[in-house]
Amino acid sequence: MGRLRLDLIHVQFAPSAFGFHRAVGLLPGLLGSGTPLLATLHEYGVWTAEGPAGRLREAGWSAVERRGVLDRETLLLTLRASQLLFTAPEHEQVLRARFPGRTIPATYSPIGANIPLAAIEDRAVAAVRAELGLPGDARLAVFFGFLHQEKGLERLIEAVAQVRRTHPRLELVLAGGEQSHSVVGGAATALRRSLEQVAERHGVEHAVRFTGYLPERAISALLQAADVAVFPFNAGVTSKSSSLLAALSHGVPTIATAPTGAVRAPSEIDGVLRVPPRDTAALEQALHDVLSDSDLAARLVTAGRANAAGRTWQAVAAIHEEVYAEVLGRLPRR
């Protein structure tokens, strides 16, 4: 690596991209002292100690971190980086809690939307609904993203079943691929089937549609056809979610779970109707409120678009340019 004469190295730390192996965290030990290393924490604070000795392992890691030796998730990466970038404020909170008293340079860098807003004519939006086999007066709830057992989709299906008692024209579309970094092969097939069984058990198999993977333009059209977007993740949806941001930038009233303990009932926060995670009743109430209250839906659209407006990829690029210049400016002239 030294032969490449690199000015800096920037690691995008997303555990799934490395097959959930932490070996990339040993990279600082392989580098010389002259090349600055940066790391963006896309996921952080999610490590949990499992098994009967979980508490003991948790205590052991905490002791190691307080001494500044290793980080339980990134090994040497966090402690040896010349500069960290974090994609959600919660990441910095975890960082400061793990390494009290240590000065670790860190900068917030938001994530942009993963689906650009496509110019879609009204008739094309109507065609989206027709292709899905939706009746003309259907109310459409949309989730998009890879299917995953931690995204709370079984609760969303159950909530839709309950809301259909007062909104019988409500339909749910689960748009996204089944295969991902973390769910592959037979596990992906089994997950899809388990969600279908949830719909059958609640008598809404005719009102729940799975699209599989869709290209960006098709997702954009689907969002423009939706009445509400829903992200019911079990651990809450952080501000780093590019799917959440895409829904906001498309002007869709959006419901998403908050981090554990942040809210106790549906609450409007930064253009998102936040609900407690793993709470089907709260999710049901939020869906009912958005579909019943046009003023609430309009407020969410306005505030959501304002939230998304400041988090474009151009803004992200400008932050990176500034950080790179600052890091390189600390080096001796060469």
Strands (E), the chain: 9-13, 37-41, 83-86, 106-108, 139-144, 170-175, 208-212, 228-231, 254-257, 267-269, 272-275
Same-domain check for residues 288 and 196 = yes
Same-domain check for residues 105 and 174 = no
Domain count, the chain: 2
Same-domain check for residues 11 and 102 = yes
Torsion angle, alpha carbons of 34, 38, 44, 50, to 10: -30
Work out the mean pLDDT of the chain and round it to a whole number. Answer: 91
Same-domain check for residues 31 and 127 = no
Same-domain check for residues 101 and 239 = no
- Asked whether residue 117 is assigned to any structural domain, the reply reads no
Stated pTM of the model: 0.81
Same-domain check for residues 22 and 6 = yes
CA–CA separation, 157 vs 204, rounded Å?
A: 8
Same-domain check for residues 62 and 151 = no
The domain spanning residue 271 has which CATH number?
A: 3.40.50.2000
Same-domain check for residues 274 and 134 = yes
51 vs 91, higher pLDDT? 91
Neighbouring C-beta atoms of residue 152, cutoff 10 Å: 26
Q: Give tens-digit pLDDT for 68-114.
A: 999 999 999 999 999 999 998 888 989 999 999 888 899 999 888 88
Judged against a pLDDT cut of 90, whether residue 51 lies above it is answered with no
Query: How many Å is the Cα radius of gyration of the chain?
Result: 22
Judged against a pLDDT cut of 70, whether residue 333 lies above it is answered with no
Judged against a pLDDT cut of 90, whether residue 4 lies above it is answered with no
Q: Give tens-digit pLDDT for 126-165.
A: 888 888 888 878 999 999 999 999 999 999 999 999 999 9
- Asked whether residue 334 is assigned to any structural domain, the reply reads no
- Asked whether residue 116 is assigned to any structural domain, the reply reads no
Range of the domain at 151: 122-309
- Asked whether residue 184 is assigned to any structural domain, the reply reads yes
Judged against a pLDDT cut of 80, whether residue 33 lies above it is answered with no
Same-domain check for residues 18 and 145 = no
- Asked whether residue 104 is assigned to any structural domain, the reply reads yes
Interior angle at CA 20, CA 18 and CA 25, nearest 5: 65
Q: Give tens-digit pLDDT for 161-206.
A: 999 999 999 999 999 888 776 787 888 899 999 999 999 999 999 9
Same-domain check for residues 43 and 163 = no
Does residue 280 contact residue 155 with C-beta atoms inside 8 Å? yes
CA–CA separation, 330 vs 317, rounded Å?
A: 20
In this prediction, what percent of the chain has a pLDDT beyond 70? 97
Same-domain check for residues 299 and 319 = no
Same-domain check for residues 39 and 79 = yes
